[in-house]
Copies of this chain bind each other. A is one copy, B any other.
Amino acid sequence: METSRQVNVAAMAKEARQAARVLAMADGAVKNKALLIMAVRLLEQSAWLQEENNRDLQAAEAAGLSSAMIDRLRLNESRIAAMAEGVRQVAALDDPVGEITALKARPNGMRVGKMRVPLGVIGVIYESRPNVTADAAALCVKSGNAVILRGGSEAYYSNRAISACLMHGLQEAGLPMTAVQYIDTTDRAAVGELLRCDADVDVIIPRGGKDLIARIIAESHIPVIKHLDGICHTYVDAEADLAMALALTMNGKMQRTGVCNATETLLVHRAVAATFLPEVCQQLAQAGCQLRVCPETRTLLPAQLAVQDARAEDWDTEYLDAILSIRVVASLEEAIDHIERHSSRHTDVIVTRSHGNAMRFLREVDSASVMVNASSRFSDGFEFGLGAEMGISTDKLHVRGPVGLEGLTTQKYIVLGDGQLRR
């Protein structure tokens, strides 16, 4: 097949390494120029992008993909405009590269500090929505990194066309076009090749389903910034403002259900369970949410309310749907213990008026984002003020939680001396 041609990924990675040296030293104004031209090009080429997208859509229909998947794949004029606007917004962010912090004098007069620098070459492996091509490339270019993009085969023509627009921007701004490279094949072996380029690729960022991420972790010896499950908890404390708890639970669960920062488990302190649970469960059920409850919760609910018994595996399930598991706990400790055992360490929320309980929850819950009196749905790079987001890391090392421009950089030590010798 034409689209499954053999591609020399190792050679691409070497080109990327060269391009990364140039990008690392590029002035912010040049990088911004490239990004703004990319945005213009995406808009200018809207008709062509839709034509190319059509080839993917036809193949998807022929292959019998679900209408939801086909919808995610579709590029129309407004989606292309939104993609271009996203690139423009990245251009408007502060350049993280070159920032020098913590420059302090040592007793011998030598000054030691840190300089923020790009990571180098980033491999992004993604599925589904073609806009990731533009989003990921814009963030990498802005942070001074070269990027190798590998999109899903179902969006092959769309991704290739978007990449062409991006490379045009690099070229017009005088930057190497190899700073953004698209692996132009649907051949699955190419992913394996990319994962073996450990000399020339500094980090792999997968954006996709669990199978994709599991494969990458198993095969790669390149560091991976990854996002696993989003099993997020909202805990309603004995000291909670129950009206606030009701609003936060409804928002955390139902504002949007298919996303990683939606609440999947509600924990309620026994002291307020009899008051809080009938009301919240009624509202959730009315909103179309299926409830999977612990035995104690069931005894507190009106018999006519249809609920299911939670099974052991419910506490470890990311529903990504209008389903909520509910458990009564005897104490703040029991809530924290439950979270320690079942949370995916993505985002967990306490609702409380008690300062002590809030501080204890913040300190003891070991998750990427820990919140007091806010909806779990806020766990997001834009909502946190990062201006953009490459994904959300559930790893502990390097970057935790929403990954913005800073997460795509590292710091090196710099030393400014005037001839100091070690004794």
Contact = CB atoms under 8 A, between A and B. Distances in A.
A200 to B, nearest CB: 13
B372 A417 contact: yes
Interface in A353-410: 358, 362-364, 366-375, 377-379, 383-385, 395-398, 400-402, 410
Nearest to A109: B374
A372 B247 contact: no
Interface in A11-43: 21, 24-25
A25 B397 contact: no
A117 interface: yes
Tell me which of A221, A378, A400 has the highest count of chain B C-beta atoms within 10 A of its own C-beta. Answer: A378
Contacts of A225: 397
Nearest to A107: B385
B362 A396 contact: no
A110 interface: yes
Contacts of A373: 416-420
A321 interface: no
A363 B373 CA distance: 43
A421 B362 contact: no
Contacts of A112: 384-385
A368 B25 contact: no
Contact of A422 (B24, B25, B378, B397): B378
A112 B371 CA distance: 9
A232 to B, nearest CB: 12
Interface of A: 21, 24-25, 98, 104, 106, 110, 112, 115, 117, 119-120, 202-203, 217-218, 221, 223, 225, 241, 244, 247-248, 251, 255, 340, 358, 362-364, 366-375, 377-379, 383-385, 395-398, 400-402, 410-422
Among all A-B residue pairs, the 8 with the closest Cβ atoms: A374-B417, A371-B415, A377-B422, A398-B398, A369-B413, A251-B421, A244-B419, A397-B398
